[in-house]
Amino acid sequence: MSEKTSCLLRVCALLLLLFGQSLQGPPSFSVDYKDDCFRKDGQRFRYISGSIHYSRIPRVYWKDRLLKMYMAGLNTIQTYIPWNYHEKYPGQYNFSGDRDVEYFLKLAQDIGLLVILRPGPYICGEWDMGGLPAWLLSKKDIVLRSSDPDYIAAVDKWMGKFLPMMKPYLYQNGGPIITVQVENEYGSYFACDYNYMRHLTKLFRSHLGDEVVLFTTDGAGLNFLKCGSIQGLYATVDFGPGSNITAAFEAQRHVEPHGPLVNSEFYTGWLDHWGSRHSVVSSAYVAKSLNQILSTGANVNMYMFIGGSNFGYWNGANSPYAAQPTSYDYDAPLSEAGDLTEKYFAIQEVIKMYRKIPQGPVLPSTPKYAYSTVTMKKLQTVSDALEKLSYSGPVKSIYPQTFIDLNQSLGFVLYRTTLPVNCSSATPLSSPLNGVHDRAYVSVDGVAVGILERNKAITVNVTGKAGSQVDILVENMGRINYGRGINDFKGLVSNLTLGKELLVGWTMYSLSIDEAVGQGLLWETTSTQTQPPQSASLSLPTFYGGSFTIPDGIPYLPEDTYVKLPNWKKGQIWINGFNLGRYWPDRGPQVTLFVPANILSTDAPNNVTVLELEGASCNSQPCTVEFTTTPILNATVQPEYEQHRRLSAKEDLL
Ligand SMILES: *[C@@H]1O[C@H](CO)[C@@H](O)[C@H](O)[C@H]1NC(C)=O
Ligand SMILES: *[C@@H]1O[C@H](CO)[C@@H](O)[C@H](O)[C@H]1NC(C)=O
Ligand SMILES: *[C@@H]1O[C@H](CO)[C@@H](O)[C@H](O)[C@H]1NC(C)=O
Ligand SMILES: *[C@@H]1O[C@H](CO)[C@@H](O)[C@H](O)[C@H]1NC(C)=O
Ligand SMILES: *[C@@H]1O[C@H](CO)[C@@H](O)[C@H](O)[C@H]1NC(C)=O
Ligand SMILES: *[C@@H]1O[C@H](CO)[C@@H](O)[C@H](O)[C@H]1NC(C)=O
Ligand SMILES: *[C@@H]1O[C@H](CO)[C@@H](O)[C@H](O)[C@H]1NC(C)=O
Ligand SMILES: *[C@@H]1O[C@H](CO)[C@@H](O)[C@H](O)[C@H]1NC(C)=O
């Protein structure tokens, strides 16, 4: 080969390389208003997506769940970003461990899944306060989700931190994120503040650039789209299997005459509330409706594809106050524990008709193991353990303060005062303005006397001498996440009365129970104080502890499991310091809590700590907690607690 030809060849090769690259171009994702579709790298594209919330799944299981979603035939996932999960106190950010959203995005991309990002700031999602940080309420009259300057300042600061982190993960920058949602179902909120939505649009654009597809999601009705959709953001709708698909997409078309049809939340199941029946939606019903949606050529995201768990205190609530349980199973195609269900395969069958799905076996469900029953020993009461639980020490004030006044968001606060008068006969201790948010365990001189509960019980009768100590442990059962009620203050949010007198002179203990449990402080000494006898049905809020070892010689252990608390009433349970969530078998429908294997140890005894709020009925025999391989999420609910109306659509929650 002459030097000349070789040189020519090299020039050709270079030209080819340049030409080839420009043909392919940089990655792009856009809305095509002419052909009514999305375009990915210039090609017509339709997503079939599923929702997964990393905040409800331990990090070690993210890959397993994402792979299962990929194998079902999804090409995309959708996730919410709960702001309050990442910014616990103003300016204190956490993106590590289970909160490492960047790692989650990388995993999705490695597996071959695209991502629809829903950073809020408000997310709803059956998550405490719809993802808004409770510390926003330190301005008492703040109008959340509006142009309120204090709200906007906090949003700007948070998004100024978070959105730049996401920029490298946008599709056009080589990442998996194809679209980004602004706000969430804003048209269902009373404020209808277009300036707020315009502000968010500018904010998102300024951090993410002009190219990314920004969108909104609203209920599929003109009444929702009126305040929810805004110029510059692509409007999409959400609706479940019971809906009239034609009518639903007509609503979208009303505001977006051209562009892709999108159902951003197609409900595969539904949420639960304590005291209401477990929601189930049949696979056949979901599959049939999914098929109809896909046959129109629409894009769809299944909400949820896997629900997971509200570990700790993260569940939300609806209004009139009804808290959601720990499990967020949602009757989704992958169970709370990531198990394959009949619905998973029914959906996979439908997807198969529309796109080539990956070949090969689906990862199996994770096996479960029933560890031995744990005998629980009484450790100490909350009142006895106050010094360990409240290192900041008490705050004193004439009238009661709320959690936020006390710089606490979640969990429990102990309110203490004394009886101002002799109550020789039963005297009503009341919250006349229904200001116990949400449940309070009342004792007088160390004897449990009753429970106050938001909307349900505003009075307990007490007896005692003037000067007797009144302890009221108030539980935050989860902030309202939907509607007007999201400014959901916790604690004693109004005054209590005793007979005709106002109770004053409060000492309030902000409780760091999780820290104390994590450090094993409650196990150090067991209570030596003799307690006054309690009634048969109610005792003081008390910690219990017990441990179990994982049997030797079984190489595949530890495995996942479910824990149940048969004779217990209501409380919180930790294993090795990990807060599994709330249990309330007394009210149902959830009876078992998911225990992921990653919190268990084979090297040391596993420590179970329980805070029982009402009294375990195991006075004659020792109290135990039990492990089981089968979840129970649908136990019979006592009729008195059954909600009068059964909620099955967003409209019903208004
Ligand atoms: C951040 O979150 C991770 C995961 O939940 C947790 O392990 C860690 O302790 C948190 N860090 C701080 C400083 O709170
Ligand atoms: C569904 O909605 C379309 C358009 O509004 C209407 O023509 C049709 O009758 C509806 N179908 C049913 C079954 O209600
Ligand atoms: C609230 O508590 C956190 C954590 O202890 C602390 O960093 C913060 O400064 C406190 N805020 C106020 C207003 O006291
Ligand atoms: C309460 O009753 C005791 C006697 O049982 C009496 O000595 C005391 O003065 C009374 N206190 C008040 C505040 O009424
Ligand atoms: C309190 O006592 C009064 C009088 O004995 C009784 O009528 C009322 O039902 C009691 N209230 C509660 C909540 O127990
Ligand atoms: C309690 O009552 C006092 C006196 O009427 C009032 O000033 C105060 O705001 C009330 N506190 C709450 C939390 O309602
Ligand atoms: C359980 O607590 C004991 C005593 O504090 C400790 O030695 C052990 O390491 C703990 N187990 C685990 C798995 O953390
Ligand atoms: C609860 O769910 C299980 C498993 O799906 C089912 O066998 C059982 O019949 C259900 N029980 C009730 C009361 O619905």
pLDDT tens digits along 380-392 = 999 999 999 998 8
- Mean of pLDDT values over 160-176: 98
- Mean of pLDDT values over 165-181: 98
Measure 316 CA to ligand 6 centroid, in angstroms: 28
Which pLDDT belongs to residue 650? 53
Q: Is the CB of 400 under 6 A from ligand 6?
A: yes
> Is 159 within 8 Å of 109 (Cβ atoms)?
no
Cα angle 165, 91, 404; round to 5: 130
Residue 150 burial (CB count, 10 A): 14
Q: Residue 2 pLDDT more than 70? A: no
Smallest-distance ligand from the CA of 466: 4
Q: Is the CB of 426 under 6 A from ligand 5?
A: yes
- Mean of pLDDT values over 582-597: 97
Q: Identify the bridge partners of residue 547 per DSSP, sorted by sequence position.
A: 607
- Mean of pLDDT values over 605-633: 92
Work out the pLDDT band at 21, boundaries 50, 70, 90: very low
Cα separation of 437 and 307, whole Å?
26
Which pLDDT belongs to residue 534? 82
Q: Which atom of ligand 5 is nearest to the CA of 460?
A: 13
Q: Residue 403 pLDDT more than 80? A: yes
Measure 341 CA to ligand 8 centroid, in angstroms: 14
Q: Which atom of ligand 5 is nearest to the CA of 461?
A: 1
Q: Residue 204 pLDDT more than 90? A: yes
Work out the pLDDT band at 619, boundaries 50, 70, 90: low
pLDDT tens digits along 539-577 = 999 999 999 999 998 989 999 999 999 999 999 999 999
Measure 536 CA to ligand 5 centroid, in angstroms: 18
Q: Residue 421 pLDDT more than 50? A: yes
For 318, phi then psi, to 5°, come to -110, 170
Work out the pLDDT band at 432, boundaries 50, 70, 90: very high
**What is the percentage of the chain residues whose pLDDT exceeds 70?**
93
pLDDT tens digits along 514-539 = 999 999 999 876 556 677 888 878 99
Measure 401 CA to ligand 6 centroid, in angstroms: 10
Closest protein CA for atom 6 of ligand 4: 422
Which pLDDT belongs to residue 531? 77
Which pLDDT belongs to residue 527? 59
Q: Is the CB of 495 under 6 A from ligand 6?
A: yes
- Mean of pLDDT values over 582-599: 97
Which pLDDT belongs to residue 1? 46
Whole-number average pLDDT of the chain: 93
How is the beta sheet containing 447-453 ordered, strand by strand? Answer: 395-397, 506-510, 412-418, 469-475, 439-444, 447-453
Q: Which atom of ligand 7 is nearest to the CA of 576?
A: 14
- Mean of pLDDT values over 33-41: 98
Q: Which atom of ligand 2 is nearest to the CA of 244?
A: 1
pLDDT tens digits along 274-330 = 999 999 999 999 999 999 999 999 999 999 999 999 999 999 999 999 999 999 999
> Is 569 within 8 Å of 615 (Cβ atoms)?
yes
Which pLDDT belongs to residue 530? 74
Smallest-distance ligand from the CA of 589: 8
Which pLDDT belongs to residue 392? 83
Which pLDDT belongs to residue 15? 47
Which pLDDT belongs to residue 328? 98
Q: Residue 3 pLDDT more than 70? A: no
Measure 97 CA to ligand 1 centroid, in angstroms: 7
**What is the percentage of the chain residues whose pLDDT exceeds 90?**
88
Q: Residue 653 pLDDT more than 60? A: no
Smallest-distance ligand from the CA of 600: 7
Using a 6 Å CB cutoff, which residues line ligand 7? Answer: 520, 523, 576, 601, 604-607
- Prediction pTM value: 0.94
Measure 65 CA to ligand 3 centroid, in angstroms: 36
pLDDT tens digits along 470-486 = 999 999 999 999 999 99
Q: Is the CB of 459 under 6 A from ligand 5?
A: yes
pLDDT tens digits along 207-253 = 999 999 999 999 999 999 999 999 999 999 999 999 999 999 999 99
Smallest-distance ligand from the CA of 100: 1
> Six-digit token pair at 91?
């300016």
Which pLDDT belongs to residue 652? 45
Secondary structure (DSSP) of 516-582? HHHTTGGGSS---SPPPPPPSS----EEEEEEE-PPTT-TT-S-BEEEE-TT--SEEEEETTEEEEE
Q: Residue 426 pLDDT more than 70? A: yes
